Structures are given as structure tokens and as C-alpha cells.
Amino acid sequence: MSSGGGGSSAGRSKPRWSGAGSSLTYTDAEVRALTPVRAVIETQTPPPDPRDVFLCHAWDDRAGAAKELHDLLEAKNVSVWFSEKDVALGTSLMREIDKGLARSRIGVVLVTPMFLDRLRGEGVADKELSALLSTDKLIPIVHNTTFEALVNVSPLLAARSGMSTREGSMSNIAAKLAELITL
């Protein structure tokens, strides 16, 4: 996990939410960043028709990295709000996104080069990000880019600690997210 400052911690530990049988280890920075999100998860009342994760991503990543993360999470029994499957034809995209945001326990922002381009254009991903930034349940996942590149596009998002596929595989990140949301 890296922060907006771009560093990672070499220390490895198991957070309090990690089960006794879990083989996952976390960097000290990951534990610091995920602990406040876990506190929100533990104290929130589930909404009707809840989802574990709202997956915010660039439209261009829907068949690539976003689909990969979605599939990895669902394989771990994490329910994911994913526009490609949750927005029915003929419905209002923005209204469905609004409902998805309200029903999700946490928000994951998949930061890719395409996502950075989309933020510059102030499209749908920008609106999703704006809503997620107002919460304490946001986790950026940086893939094929860096937190340093993110600073130039969204300093507020870059200031949030998150995970990077440079420090762990997408599969490992999905496993950590699944462990984080399991009560």
C-alpha cells in the first residue's frame, strides 16, 4: 500500500480483522490505511440490497483490469456493484450509480492510466470519485500507474492511502479486500 507520498512500509503484520487461519500479510502502511475503513464497515448499518464494494473505474477498463478485479472479488464471495452488470438497459446511468453508491459498504477506485485520462475529462468516473471522496470508506487501487502520477490529476485521491499492483498482485489485493469486509 502506498500513500500520496509514494512510499511503502517494509514491515509486515496481520491486522486485527485478519482471521487466525489467514495467510495474508499486510505492510504497516496497508494496516494504517485500511483500519479506518474497517471501522466504518464495523459500525455501519447495512442498507437494503447491500453490496460489499462499489467498483469505480474508467469505462475503457471495463473489459480489462476492472473486470479482472470484479471477478476476483466475486470469486471470494464479495458482492460488487459493477456498472457493466448492475445498470439495466433503459435505466438512468447516473441514478443507478447513485443507488449503487448508497448501497455499498466501501468504494474501491481502480486508478489506471485510462482512469487518469477520464478524470481530466470530468465524466462519470469523476462524479463517482467526487461522491466517494466525501466518505471514509474509499480505497484507491493503483494499477499500471503510480500515486505520483495521480497527484497531478487528483491530489485529494492521491492523499488517500491505497494499494498498488506494483506491491502485490491483483489477486492478492482482492484477497485483502475480501478479508477487510468480512465481519
At 154 the pLDDT is: 92
Q: What are phi and psi of 149, to 5 degrees?
A: -65, -35
At 20 the pLDDT is: 86
Q: What are phi and psi of 62, to 5 degrees?
A: -60, -30
At 8 the pLDDT is: 47
Report mean pLDDT in 10-residue bins for the chain, 183 residues. Answer: 46 86 90 91 81 93 96 96 86 87 93 91 82 90 94 91 92 96 84
At 29 the pLDDT is: 87
At 10 the pLDDT is: 60
The amino acid at residue 116 is: L
At 49 the pLDDT is: 75
CA distances from 68 to 12, 29, 46, 81 (A): 26, 25, 26, 14
* pTM flag (> 0.85): no
At 79 the pLDDT is: 95
At 3 the pLDDT is: 45
At 179 the pLDDT is: 95
